[in-house]
């Protein structure tokens, strides 16, 4: 086999994880759809691939000539060397993606997942990308940001004939730059991207020491409109999305980024949603070092704690992890850190309702009615934790439990966990941070 060992390991781990989670994922789906006598058909096609996005178990090894990226809740696509060409096989197909425990979505994606696996290669590599279309409609792949021959740009109708269902096309070009790129369809984009067709394309510099970091993370921003109680995103939605995700996962289902004190860390973020996202990291200022246009010259970098990532853009930022702790990293549009919510829910802030509880309960004797919203929405999470049911396959608006209580987040939110004793090259979750005495805010006596 021409597989690079770490790629093999990576794929193997992903598949093992899939198998391990398979039964659990089915059970959880069963629980949520359990009250229905007929199991719901979760896709338009038969036998969709079910890769339910486990936490990443890939531990990248030091490469021959590059340090591999860690794709949050994802994996890198293996390749075969053929006469000096790195050959990647890509299958575009319907998949079922678990966005977080309790929610699965009918997506379209690549090689069993949405977003598809990260394509990793090195500047100067010649790559051959063999794309088979198993979607119900034609597609193409556009290699976003890469410099390549015009006929390889993947714009249906303009630079190539669309790939019809069942057909296989070959793209082949030499990687002339390094940096952070993306791939996505350029045929019926509105639908195919709304359904989750996208992935990252990382090109490492030829010189291994150039732009070297200790840990390199990447993920895509993707938004979906999955109406409460449904399974399939609405592909015609333009602004009213209700699922905001990092790599099609929502908090608390998103991997944390676990690093060792002193590590130089790069986080690469691509935005394939229809709005901008101010990504904010706590605890450390960072510098933007790379865009999909290439590396930012050192002299042009400036310090930030929030970087706004526009639609169709990539930003990579770097910092040295000096501050121990569990640090939030999230989109600063607050509704992007929430699960689905009703847009027309009446404003009950400051409205007394308790005395109407009995009246309303009388009207609905089989239902445990609780008034909501008087003091804000924080009680929402309490209610969910108390076991109040919400529609099937729907995530609560706010959730997540931390060592001090509910975190009240959902959507584009995760953690950067900085630990002194995190072993080198170990990406596993160290658990909650144990704060030294006297370093936690406390109630004033």
348 makes contact with other proteins (CB under 8 A): yes
- Cβ 224 to other proteins, closest distance in Å? 16
Binding mask 223-242 for other proteins (x = CB under 8 A): -----xx-------------
Q: Following CA atoms 37, 42, 45, 49 in sequence, which dihedral angle do they give, to the nearest 10 degrees?
A: -120
222 makes contact with other proteins (CB under 8 A): no
360 makes contact with other proteins (CB under 8 A): yes
C-alpha span between 437 and 390 (Å, rounded):
40
* Nearer to other proteins (CB atom), residue 74 or residue 340: 340
Of 118, 121, 98, nearest to 32 by C-alpha is 98
- Cβ 404 to other proteins, closest distance in Å? 23
33 makes contact with other proteins (CB under 8 A): no
349 makes contact with other proteins (CB under 8 A): yes
Of 164, 154, 217, nearest to 184 by C-alpha is 154
Q: Binding residues for other proteins, how many (CB under 8 A)?
A: 38
* Span 365-394, contacts to other proteins by CB under 8 A: 367, 369, 371-373, 377, 380, 383-384, 388-392, 394
Among 84, 297, 346, 438, binds other proteins (CB under 8 A): 346
Among 350, 405, 436, 438, binds other proteins (CB under 8 A): 350
> Where are the extended beta strands (E) located within 28-133?
49-50, 70-71, 80-82, 85-100, 103-110, 119-122, 126-133
C-alpha span between 13 and 28 (Å, rounded):
22
Among 47, 239, 299, 342, binds other proteins (CB under 8 A): 342
356 makes contact with other proteins (CB under 8 A): yes
Pair of tokens at residue 90: 């890509």
- Cβ 195 to other proteins, closest distance in Å? 22
Among 359, 420, 424, 442, binds other proteins (CB under 8 A): 359
165 makes contact with other proteins (CB under 8 A): no
Q: Following CA atoms 135, 180, 311, 340 in sequence, which dihedral angle do they give, to the nearest 10 degrees?
A: 70
Contact 40, 33 (CB under 8 A): yes
- Cβ 411 to other proteins, closest distance in Å? 15
* Span 79-108, contacts to other proteins by CB under 8 A: none
297 vs 75, 161, 276, 300, 308, CA distance in Å?
29, 38, 24, 5, 19
- Segment contacting other proteins (CB under 8 A): 10-18, 181-189, 230-238, 341-349? 341-349
- Cβ 397 to other proteins, closest distance in Å? 5
C-alpha span between 335 and 337 (Å, rounded):
5
362 makes contact with other proteins (CB under 8 A): yes
Phi, psi of 356 (to 5 degrees): -95, -5
Q: Following CA atoms 109, 114, 117, 123 in sequence, which dihedral angle do they give, to the nearest 10 degrees?
A: 80
- Segment contacting other proteins (CB under 8 A): 176-184, 246-254, 270-278, 359-367? 359-367
Provide the CB-side half-sphere exposure for 31 (13 A, CA). Answer: 12
Is residue 345 classed exposed, middle or buried when 0-12, 13-18 and 19+ CB atoms within 10 A define those classes? exposed
C-alpha span between 300 and 295 (Å, rounded):
10
The site for other proteins (CB under 8 A) is made up of 228-229, 340-342, 344-353, 356, 359-360, 362-364, 367, 369, 371-373, 377, 380, 383-384, 388-392, 394, 396-397
């Amino acid at each position: 086999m021409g597989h690079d060992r770490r790629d093999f390991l990576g794929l193997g781990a992903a598949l093992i994880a899939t198998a391990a989670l398979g039964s659990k994922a089915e059970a959880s789906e069963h629980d949520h759809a359990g009250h229905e006598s007929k199991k719901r058909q979760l896709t338009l096609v038969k036998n969709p691939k079910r890769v339910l996005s486990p936490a990443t178990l890939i531990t990248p090894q030091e490469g021959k000539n590059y340090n591999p990226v860690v794709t949050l809740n994802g994996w890198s696509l293996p390749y075969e060397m053929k006469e000096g060409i790195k050959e990647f096989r890509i299958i575009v197909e319907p998949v079922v993606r678990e966005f977080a425990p309790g929610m699965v979505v009918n997506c379209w994606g690549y090689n069993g997942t949405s977003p598809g696996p990260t394509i990793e290669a090195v500047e100067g590599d010649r790559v051959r990308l063999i794309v088979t279309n198993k979607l119900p409609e034609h597609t193409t792949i556009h290699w976003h940001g890469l410099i390549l021959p015009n006929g390889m740009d993947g714009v249906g109708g303009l630079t190539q004939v669309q790939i019809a269902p069942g057909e296989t096309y070959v793209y082949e070009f030499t990687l002339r730059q390094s940096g952070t790129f993306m791939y996505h369809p350029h045929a019926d984009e509105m639908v195919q991207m709304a359904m989750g067709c996208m992935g990252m394309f990382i090109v490492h510099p030829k010189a291994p020491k150039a732009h070297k970091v200790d840990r390199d993370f990447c993920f895509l921003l993707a938004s979906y409109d999955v109406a409460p109680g449904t399974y399939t995103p609405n592909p015609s939605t333009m602004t009213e999305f209700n699922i905001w995700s990092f790599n099609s996962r929502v908090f608390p289902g998103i991997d944390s980024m676990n690093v060792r004190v002193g590590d130089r860390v790069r986080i690469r973020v691509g935005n394939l949603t229809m709005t901008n996202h101010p990504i904010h990291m706590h605890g450390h200022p960072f510098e933007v070092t790379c865009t999909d246009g290439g590396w930012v010259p050192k002299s042009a970098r400036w310090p930030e704690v929030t970087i706004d990532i526009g639609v169709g853009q990539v930003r990579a930022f770097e910092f040295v992890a000096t501050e121990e702790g569990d640090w939030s990293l999230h989109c600063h549009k607050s509704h992007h850190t929430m699960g689905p919510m009703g847009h027309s829910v009446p404003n009950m802030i400051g409205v007394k309702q308790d005395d109407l509880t009995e009246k309303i309960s009388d009207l609905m004797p089989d239902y445990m009615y609780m008034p909501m919203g008087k003091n804000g929405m924080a009680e929402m999470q309490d209610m969910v934790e108390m076991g109040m049911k919400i529609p099937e396959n729907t995530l609560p608006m706010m959730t997540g439990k931390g060592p001090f209580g509910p975190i009240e987040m959902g959507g584009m939110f995760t953690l950067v966990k900085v630990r002194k004793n995190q072993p080198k090259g170990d990406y596993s979750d160290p658990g909650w941070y144990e704060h030294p005495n006297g370093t936690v805010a406390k109630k004033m006596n």
